[in-house]
Amino acid sequence: MPYEEREHTADILMHVSAPDVPTLFEECGHALMDVMYRGSARSDCQYSFAVTGTDHEQLLQAFLSELLCLTETENVVFSEITVTIDDGSLTACLAGEPFDRKIHAGGTEVKGISFCGLAISRQNDEYVLDILFDV
């Protein structure tokens, strides 16, 4: 499994792994959606955005913060997340459907993405990280 929740005293800590950095970012996005929403989402509407950062950790925090903002302001649950990273910039292409209380309610409200302990490392031919979602 590319991500799993780990114990934390106050917030939600997710352990994420992937074979490459773009896929690691995509899995972090899926983990965020799984924490916030229940049920599955179709790919009825598309969005995209770009962010920049000086390193992968800053880029990931910017990406997830923008994803969080977009899902809340547009009221969309994203089911498809594709990330392209090139020299300090990230482009995200997203697909999802409008939030439907009957399908998606029951998740946990995420207020922000923490930098606390955020460090991407390489272990056993995988990229891994622990990311903290502030709830």
Percent of the chain with pLDDT over 70: 99
Mean pLDDT of 44-64: 97
Please check whether residue 135 lies inside any domain of the structure: no
Please check whether residue 35 lies inside any domain of the structure: yes
Query: What is the per-residue pLDDT for 8?
Result: 76
10: amino acid identity, one letter: A
Percent of the chain with pLDDT over 90: 91
Mean pLDDT of 86-99: 97
* 122: confidence class by pLDDT, cuts 50, 70, 90: very high
| Two tokens, residue 116 | 């606390």
How close are the terminal C-alpha atoms of the chain, in Å?
23
Closest to 2 in 3D by CA, of 81, 71, 72: 81
Say yes or no to pLDDT of 9 above 90: no
Please check whether residue 118 lies inside any domain of the structure: no
- Full domain range(s) for residue 67: 21-108
Please check whether residue 6 lies inside any domain of the structure: no
User: Which residues, 6 or more positions from 132, have their beta carbon under 8 angstroms from its beta carbon?
Assistant: 8, 11, 12, 13, 14, 113, 114, 116, 117, 118
Please check whether residue 92 lies inside any domain of the structure: yes
* 82: confidence class by pLDDT, cuts 50, 70, 90: very high
Count of structural domains, the chain: 1
Please check whether residue 4 lies inside any domain of the structure: no
Query: What is the per-residue pLDDT for 1?
Result: 65
Q: Whole-angstrom Cα distance, residue 64 to residue 59?
A: 9
Mean pLDDT of 47-52: 98
Buried b (16+ CB within 10 A) or exposed e, 110-134: beebbeeebebeeeeeebebbbbbe
User: Which residues, 6 or more positions from 52, have their beta carbon under 8 angstroms from its beta carbon?
Assistant: 59, 62, 88, 89, 90
Here the CATH number for the domain that contains residue 75 is 3.55.10.10
Query: What is the per-residue pLDDT for 99?
Result: 97
Please check whether residue 1 lies inside any domain of the structure: no
Please check whether residue 16 lies inside any domain of the structure: no
